Structure 1
Amino acid sequence: MNSIVARLRGLEETLDSVARDAFDAEEIPRLSDQDAAELLALTGRIQRRLEGVQIDATVLVRDRSEGLRDERMTTKFGCSRPADLVRTLTGSDTRGATRLVKAAGLVRRDLGFSDGAFLPARYQALREVMVSGVLGVAGLLAATDPLEQSARRISDEDRIEADRQLADFARGADPDGDPGCDEAAPRPLPLPEDLSVLAKVMVAYLDPDGAEPAEEAALRGRYFSIGKVRDGAIPVRGNLLPEVAGQLGLLMDSLLNPRVNGAEAPEEAPADKAERGGVHFEPSAEEEAGVEEDLAAADTRTPGQKRHDALAAILTTAAGSDLFPHLGGAAPTLVVAATAADLAAGHGWGSVAHTGDLVPISAALQAGCAGGIQRILFDENGCIVSIGTSSRIFNVLQRRAIMARDGGCIIPGCTIPATWCEVHHVQEHAVGGPTHTDNGVLLCWFHHRTLHLTEWVIRLNRGVPEVRGPAWWDPHQHWHRARSPHRREPVPG
Structure 2
Amino acid sequence: MIDALEHAEAAVAACFDTAAWAASEHDLVAALDATHRLEQRLAAVKLSLVRELDGRGTATAQGASSTAVWLRDRLRLGVGAARRLVELAATLDAAPAGLRDALTGGSVDLEQVRVIAETVEAVHATAGAEAADKAVGVLVDWAAQFDAVLLRRLGTRILDHVAPEAADAAAEAALRAQESRAARDRHVTVSEQPDGRLRLSGILDAEAAALLRTAIDPLATPTGPDDSRTPGQRRHDAVADVCRLALRTGELPENGGDLAQIVVTTAYDGLTRQLGSGALDIGLQLTPEAVRRLACDAAVLPAVLDSSGQPLDVGRQRRLITGPLRRALVLRDRGCAFPGCDRPPRWCDAHHIRHWSDGGDTSLSNAVLLCGHHHRHIHHGEWVVQLGVDGHPEFRPPAWLDPDQLPRRNHYHRRR
TM-score range normalised by the length of the shorter chain: 0.5 to 0.7
Aligned to 2:376: 449
Aligned to 1:224: 188
- Rounded Cα–Cα distance in structure 1 between residues aligned with 2:250 and 2:376: 23
Q: Aligned-pair distance for 1:386? A: 8.0
Higher Cα radius of gyration: 2
Change (3 A) 1:474 1:232: farther
- Rounded Cα–Cα distance in structure 2 between residues aligned with 1:450 and 1:385: 37
- Unaligned runs of 5+ residues in structure 1 are 1-176, 183-196, 202-207, 263-277, 281-297
Deviations 1:106-156 (A, max 9, x none): xxxxxxxxxxxxxxxxxxxxxxxxxxxxxxxxxxxxxxxxxxxxxxxxxxx
Aligned to 1:279: 224
Aligned to 2:218: 254
Aligned to 1:382: 309
Aligned to 1:433: 360
> Structure 1 segments of 4 or more deviating over 4 A?
177-182, 372-381, 383-392
In the alignment, residue 277 of structure 2 is paired with which amino acid? W
Aligned to 1:241: 205
Q: Aligned-pair distance for 1:474? A: 2.5
- Rounded Cα–Cα distance in structure 1 between residues aligned with 2:252 and 2:377: 28
Change (3 A) 1:362 1:385: farther
Aligned to 2:258: 330
- Rounded Cα–Cα distance in structure 2 between residues aligned with 1:307 and 1:375: 35
Where 2:339 maps in the other structure, the secondary structure is: coil
Query: Within 5 Å, which residues of 2 pair with 1:89-104?
Result: none
- Rounded Cα–Cα distance in structure 2 between residues aligned with 1:217 and 1:373: 47
The answer to whether 1:351 aligns with 2:279 is yes
In the alignment, residue 411 of structure 1 is paired with which amino acid? F
- Rounded Cα–Cα distance in structure 2 between residues aligned with 1:242 and 1:442: 35
Aligned 8 A contact 1:408 1:416 in 2: yes
Where 2:197 maps in the other structure, the secondary structure is: coil
Q: Aligned-pair distance for 1:242? A: 1.7
Q: Which of 393, 399, 424 is 2:351 aligned to? A: 424
Aligned to 2:177: 213
Where 1:319 maps in the other structure, the secondary structure is: helix
Deviations 1:318-353 (A, max 9, x none): 101011111233311111112234323323421111
Q: Which of 311, 317, 320 is 2:245 aligned to? A: 317
Q: Aligned-pair distance for 1:300? A: 0.7
Change (3 A) 1:465 1:386: farther
Change (3 A) 1:384 1:309: same
Aligned to 1:270: none
Change (3 A) 1:225 1:390: farther
Percent identical: 34
Change (3 A) 1:471 1:335: same
In the alignment, residue 251 of structure 2 is paired with which amino acid? L
Q: Aligned-pair distance for 1:425? A: 1.1
Query: Higher mean Cα deviation, 449-458 or 315-324?
Result: 449-458
Alignment TM-score, normalising by the size of structure 1 = 0.45
Deviations 1:208-244 (A, max 9, x none): 99x9922122112111122213556322111111211
Change (3 A) 1:342 1:381: farther
Q: Aligned-pair distance for 1:424? A: 0.4
- Rounded Cα–Cα distance in structure 1 between residues aligned with 2:415 and 2:395: 18
Aligned 8 A contact 2:289 2:380 in 1: no
Query: Within 5 Å, which residues of 2 pair with 1:146-185?
Result: none
Q: Aligned-pair distance for 1:179? A: 7.0
Q: Which of 319, 324, 336 is 1:397 aligned to? A: 324
Aligned 8 A contact 1:337 1:378 in 2: no
Change (3 A) 1:414 1:221: same
Deviations 1:380-413 (A, max 9, x none): 8635488587799212322121111112222212
Query: Higher mean Cα deviation, 389-398 or 446-455?
Result: 389-398
Equivalent residues, number: 259
Change (3 A) 1:433 1:279: same
Aligned 8 A contact 1:409 1:484 in 2: no
Aligned 8 A contact 2:186 2:203 in 1: yes
Aligned to 1:365: 292
In the alignment, residue 241 of structure 2 is paired with which amino acid? A
- Rounded Cα–Cα distance in structure 1 between residues aligned with 2:315 and 2:397: 32
RMSD: 4.0
The answer to whether 1:466 aligns with 2:394 is yes
Change (3 A) 1:370 1:214: same
